[in-house]
Amino acid sequence: MSGRAANKNKKAELAQKLLDTRSSKSQLENGTTRNANRSDFVRGSVVRMKMQNFVTYDECEVLPGPHLNMIVGPNGTGKSSIVCALCLGLAGSTSLLGRGKEVGEYVKHGTNKATLEIELFNPSGQNFTIRREIYRKDNKSVFTLNGRQSGPQKVKEMVTGLNIQINNLCQFLPQDMVVEFAKMTKVELLENTEKAVGQPELYENHQRLKTCRNEEKRLERSLRETEDNLKIEAQRNGRLEADVKRFKQRQQHLNKIEILEKKKAWVEYDMKRILYIETKTKKAELDGQVKQARSQSNPLEGKRKALEENITEMDGKMRLLTNQCRQVANKATGKHEKLNDLNGELQEVQDDLKEQKQQEVKRKRKVQNWKQLIDGWQRELDDMPPDEDLKPQLDKNAAQNRKIIQENRQLKNECSEINRILIANFRGKQKYVLEVIIKYHSVWCFDSYDVERRLKAVNDMKDQRLRGIRQQFKDTYNAVMWLRDNQDKFSQTIHEPVILTINVRDPDFTKFFEHVIPMNDCLAFICENADDMELFIKEIRDRQGIKINAVKSPNIPVVQFQPKVPIDKMRMWGFTSYLLALCDAPDAVLAYLCKHHKLHSVPVGSADTERIVEKVIDESGLSKFYTPDTCYTVRQSRYGNRNKSSQSIQVPDAKLLGASTDVKLKRELEGRQQELEVQLQEGEKRYQELMQREKDLRVQDNKLKESRKELLQRRDRRKTIQQNIKAKNDAIKMSEESALNLEEEEKKVKKKILQILNRKVQMIKDYRNLIQECTELCKSKVELTMKYAYHVNKKTAMEAEIRESTAHLQMLEEELKTLNNHVKVTKEEAKQLLRIAQQRTGAPEPSGELKKYFTAFPSVLEELDTLIHTERAHADCCFETDERVVKEYEDRKVVIERLTREVGEKKQHMERHHREIESLKVSWQTQLKELLASINSKFSTFFAKLNCAGEVSLDYEAEEDFDKYGVKIRVKFRDTDELKELTSHYQSGGERSVATILYLMALQELNKCPFRVVDEINQGMDTNNERKVFEFVVSTACRENTSQYFLITPKLLPDLQYSSKMKVLCVMNGHWMLPYKHWDLRKFCRIRQDLETE
């Protein structure tokens, strides 16, 4: 009885809590956004959360309490949807939830927009209200902050300012991320712990230490590199010291050679200067000889000029006589040409008379021929019968022709009817069209060709798929081609990939098969025999190196794969058939697809199915089905009321299986083709008969046309002859009128000839006078030419004398010119040698010290050359060191000095940096160790209450490796065990859950974040641990000044200890649930109390 009473008391307490919750809700609805009586909430706690068309909710409003909130409900009712709403409403990423990747996937199915509204507590004024509208299309979101439109970044900044860390698993642990918490490394756990419960500078100092340590490593590497470079450079200079010493010895010999070269330059200059003085004296003597030669040459030049003037005058006279002779000769030539023209004119007159005589003879002969032709036509005209005898024959011919035309018209009408029938039934028949066009010049198009074309397109779909495989999956294509050539090597059939062997009867359903069958299986070769598969894989993969997928078909006939529910019973939901009934393929292929992808159990629905999809999900019992554009997957919870949850995915259009053979269409086309062939043969036979009759009529018509043509020609012949006779008589008359009078023409020609002869006599007289004048002029020119030759010879002799004198003068001038050049060259050489000497000594004259050095050496040029050669030989005996080596040695000395300074500076920098790290490390480690000691104290206490042991410690390999610091959790659940690190290898799932929740509780003791969320952490716990953990959560989360806590669970153990500060939110969902606004908890509790009283 006491147990029942206690149970009854607990129920009464629970009822009272429900009443309190309802009262709290009423207050919130009546203006709880004001902060009256809300002192238990901390800044940033969740006061209210509202969802519309979100995941499983049509509309729901959640009013959590300030402490522990237990969200309880069967699986699939929407508990985790509240966590999703909280995350997305606070601008969290979908990746934190471990569910859908796109935000649009959280919009309730059948709607286009979801709305989330979250109210956060603000003790200093009006609460913070964040509203987010999510659109399914384009995954778009619109944020509103305190009634004003805002961007997601501003919302994130406000959430961060409230110390809400949605991305920290130590604060926000959704259901699908519980496993991720267990997977966190020790380093990640430490960083999340620092961010969750540590001071802000703790995490920042940790990051600074990692950065500083990386910088210190970089400095160490830089110092080592610099020291290594310094050592290498010093070693290199050590190897070059001997070479540099030999270089200096050689340089001494070269310096002596340099002094000798300087003295040699001054000796050469002195010798050249003496040569210049001598050459200048010789030039003055030769200059006097040139002046004397010029004075002797000047008189001869005057005489030569006088002779040139006489010769020029004679030359002018000779040219004048030449021109006169040429003019007279030209006139004589002109007279001679005119005489030739008169001879041509005389011959032309005689030829014209001869031409006229010949034309008259031809005219008389032509007239005689025309008269004979007229006599022949007249005789033919006299022999012709009269025109009246031809008319009866023409009438009879016309009647016969009309009869043939009428019969031919009837034949064409019948042919047109056959054409009409064949055009309707045989459109596009290629073979017959060619025969008809060639034989009968008709333009028929027959339907049979279209049938053949469509059949060919249906059969060509497999080749289209093979071409697609060749472009995208080269290895699969090569394996197919090899299999086609080597199928005989196997005991049983190895089927080509599913994409080539399967045929979807209706192309609209192709996308469902490509969606349900994974790509690996679409490209897999299906073997009926295991030995064949092994042989095939060994040949293709091992020997040829081709990557393919091969599977073994099950030894089960395809007929044994039957659906649990016949399709007839599924038609009430709008389903038409199962996927298996929509395709054709070899039995082995179908058996494999049925076993692994359930083609026999996945139905395809229509648009009616899409309209009642919610009803189908709830009542049909299907786990997977398709509508015209969507794939639905239904899952049923294994807990509580076994509620169902569904997932819908848009089915994309088919790509690889886009080409399918319609078997039904193929059979219809083949039957239609046979019918068309029979009709074609009958029509062709009748058409041949009609064409033969048309040919006979055409022959008769041609004969009648020939006969009529002959009669018409006979009738028209009389008119033609009469016209010809008249035309020829007219021509004869015109010819007689145009006849010439030859006697008169001969008189005219004789008169012209006499005139031409008179002109020719006068022309001959003028030609003779001109010849005489030209002869006299030529005599005068000859006399003048002889005088001209005399003067020219005289001039030539004088010019020879002048040339001899000029040559002597030129020889002297050339010698003088050469000597002048030699003087200039000698002078320039002397100057050049002086400049060289000055350049070598570096002064206008040798210095006193240099002159002393000069006195030690000979002044003879040959002796100097010998001495220079000797010194150069000594220098060559020394090993010649490249000047670049010496320069390299000196440059490297500078580098060694610089590197030495750099080593010292870097060591000082490293010391300063190390002191900074040590200072920061002490501060960070002190805070961190204190924090972990506090966490460890709470964690160990919690585990001790469970009669277990737990420990939290700082873990690291080396003190300086700050990026490898982590939190090590060690636990022990049995007395016989030792403390072991918390991993997925040693502990069970329930034990890891206990450790996780206790670690989070230990953090809560230290952190003042607004709220924490833990979703279904108790899964896998045994009853005892779950009860103790629940009590810990209640005791810690319901204390004063603690953060808000959300604990989501599908079930609660009986007889748990509850606190008056906790709030239980029961999630109920289903088709028959009342809207949340219509709930009356007082009424429900009153009904419950009345039932218990009864």
φ/ψ (deg, to 5) at 252:
-65, -45
For residues 412-421, average pLDDT? 69
Are 616 and 622 a contacting pair, CB within 8 Å? Answer: yes
Strands, sheet with 624-626, edge to edge from the N-terminal-most edge strand: 575-578, 603-605, 624-626, 630-636, 644-650
Q: Which two tokens stand for residue 318?
A: 């000779």
Position 721 pLDDT exceeds 90: no
Sole residue written with tokens 């008056």: 1060
Express each pLDDT in 648-667 by its tens digit.
Answer: 888 888 877 765 455 565 66
Cα gap 446→437, rounded to integer Å: 13
Confidence of residue 264 (pLDDT cuts 50, 70, 90): confident
Position 729 pLDDT exceeds 60: yes
Q: What is the CA 109 to chain-centroid distance, rounded?
A: 38
Contacts for 103 with CB less than 8 Å, ≥ 6 apart = 88, 94, 134, 139, 141
Express each pLDDT in 557-585 by its tens digit.
Answer: 988 899 988 888 888 888 989 998 888 89
Confidence of residue 426 (pLDDT cuts 50, 70, 90): very low
Q: Which two tokens stand for residue 445?
A: 């198009």
SS3 619: helix
What single letter denotes the amino acid at residue 917? I
Confidence of residue 260 (pLDDT cuts 50, 70, 90): confident
Q: Which range among 265-279, 787-801, 867-881, 897-911 has the greatest average pLDDT?
A: 897-911
Cα gap 621→623, rounded to integer Å: 7
Cross-strand bridge partners of residue 952? 969
**Per-residue pLDDT at 42:** 86
Q: pTM of the predicted model, to two decimals?
A: 0.39
Cα gap 127→146, rounded to integer Å: 8
Position 438 pLDDT exceeds 60: no
For residues 435-449, average pLDDT? 40
The DSSP line for 624-655 is EEE-SSEEEEEEE-SSTT--EEEEEEEPPPPS
Exposed/middle/buried for residue 381 (C-beta within 10 Å: 0-12, 13-18, 19+): middle
Position 594 pLDDT exceeds 90: yes
Are 574 and 605 a contacting pair, CB within 8 Å? Answer: yes
**Per-residue pLDDT at 25:** 41
Q: Which two tokens stand for residue 103?
A: 């935000």
**Per-residue pLDDT at 839:** 76
**Per-residue pLDDT at 240:** 72
Contacts for 223 with CB less than 8 Å, ≥ 6 apart = 903, 906, 907, 910
**Per-residue pLDDT at 507:** 81
Of 667 and 866, more confident? 866
Cα gap 1070→405, rounded to integer Å: 89
Strands, sheet with 494-495, edge to edge from the N-terminal-most edge strand: 494-495, 524-527, 549-552
Express each pLDDT in 216-238 by its tens digit.
Answer: 888 888 888 888 888 888 888 77
Are 1047 and 1067 a contacting pair, CB within 8 Å? Answer: no
Instruction: Give the rounded percent of residues in the chain with a pLDDT score beyond 90.
Output: 8
Count CB atoms within 10 A of the CB of residue 865.
Answer: 12
Sole residue written with tokens 């080596």: 885
Any idea which of 891-895, 962-966, 991-995 has the lowest mean pLDDT? Answer: 991-995
Q: What is the CA 1010 to chain-centroid distance, rounded?
A: 50
Cα gap 503→465, rounded to integer Å: 11
CATH code given to domain 1-41+51-59+78-159+1068-1094? 3.40.50
Any idea which of 520-534, 661-675, 745-759, 822-836 has the lowest mean pLDDT? Answer: 661-675
Count CB atoms within 10 A of the CB of residue 594.
Answer: 21
**Per-residue pLDDT at 1055:** 80
**Per-residue pLDDT at 15:** 47
What residue ranges of the chain are covered by domains with CATH 3.40.50? 1-41+51-59+78-159+1068-1094
Instruction: Give the rounded percent of residues in the chain with a pLDDT score beyond 70.
Output: 85
For β-strands 603-605 and 575-578, DSSP reports them as antiparallel
Q: Which range among 30-34, 338-342, 422-426 has the greatest average pLDDT?
A: 338-342
Q: Which two tokens stand for residue 121?
A: 């507590």
Q: Which two tokens stand for residue 635?
A: 């899952």
What single letter denotes the amino acid at residue 989? G
Express each pLDDT in 901-929 by its tens digit.
Answer: 888 888 888 888 888 888 888 888 888 88
For β-strands 172-173 and 148-150, DSSP reports them as unpaired
Express each pLDDT in 42-76 by its tens digit.
Answer: 888 899 999 999 988 888 889 999 888 988 888 87
Cα gap 920→552, rounded to integer Å: 65
The dihedral built from the CA positions of residue 1045, 1048, 1049 and 1055, taken in this order, carries a sign that is: positive
Cα gap 931→918, rounded to integer Å: 20
**Average pLDDT, whole number, for the chain?**
78
Q: What is the DSSP letter of 691?
A: H
**Per-residue pLDDT at 113:** 92
Are 1006 and 1037 a contacting pair, CB within 8 Å? Answer: no
Confidence of residue 1085 (pLDDT cuts 50, 70, 90): confident
Are 1005 and 1012 a contacting pair, CB within 8 Å? Answer: no
Exposed/middle/buried for residue 1030 (C-beta within 10 Å: 0-12, 13-18, 19+): buried
Cross-strand bridge partners of residue 142? 133
Are 878 and 249 a contacting pair, CB within 8 Å? Answer: yes
For residues 1085-1089, average pLDDT? 81
Q: What is the CA 67 to chain-centroid distance, rounded?
A: 58
What single letter denotes the amino acid at residue 904? G
**Per-residue pLDDT at 857:** 75
Confidence of residue 450 (pLDDT cuts 50, 70, 90): low
Express each pLDDT in 91-134 by its tens digit.
Answer: 888 877 767 788 888 898 889 999 999 999 998 888 999 999 99
**Per-residue pLDDT at 927:** 84
> Left (φ > 0), alpha (ψ -120 to 50) or beta: where does 76 sit?
left
